[in-house]
Structure 1
């Protein structure tokens, strides 16, 4: 697995890997993680990967983290 890029944006750690003819785009916030797999064939140049870290897609990643955090908190209270 090759690390393409790693950085932080809006308190979310973003790691992009190249592995097995796919790009793995991993978003991490605290104990939560979202990973998306995209075929190399769908990305013409590696700079196109930056579009996954901006705009509507990234906004939805942040919303999903909020929902995931709320679900985890509720589940932990119900143990």
Structure 2
């Protein structure tokens, strides 16, 4: 798998990869990431094609999913950690 480019976005790191007959686009925001994979075709084969595919509507949907991921993580941590503090330290008396 090799990186064929990065797409500029104000709040996401977007990296495009190519391997064999597949293109992947990975979105990163803080501790979260999402990857979408596509089969290469005549219409979708280059970095420029991926730039056109990853439009504002696509990015808005990705950001909404990240919001949901954050909510699920925090709810799970709230059930798991009694005080809900993921980065806290034990109290030393």
Fold match, TM over 0.5? yes
Pick the TM interval, shorter chain.
0.7 to 0.9
Distance 1:22 1:59 in 2: 24
Distance 1:10 1:34 in 2: 17
Distance 2:17 2:30 in 1: 20
| TM-score normalised by structure 1 residue count | 0.86
Q: Which runs of 5+ in 2 are unaligned?
A: 81-93
How many residues are matched? 79
Map of 1:16 onto structure 2: 16
TM-superposed CA distance for 1:68, in Å, is 0.7
Map of 2:26 onto structure 1: 26
Which segments of structure 1 move beyond 4 Å, counting only runs of 4 or more? none
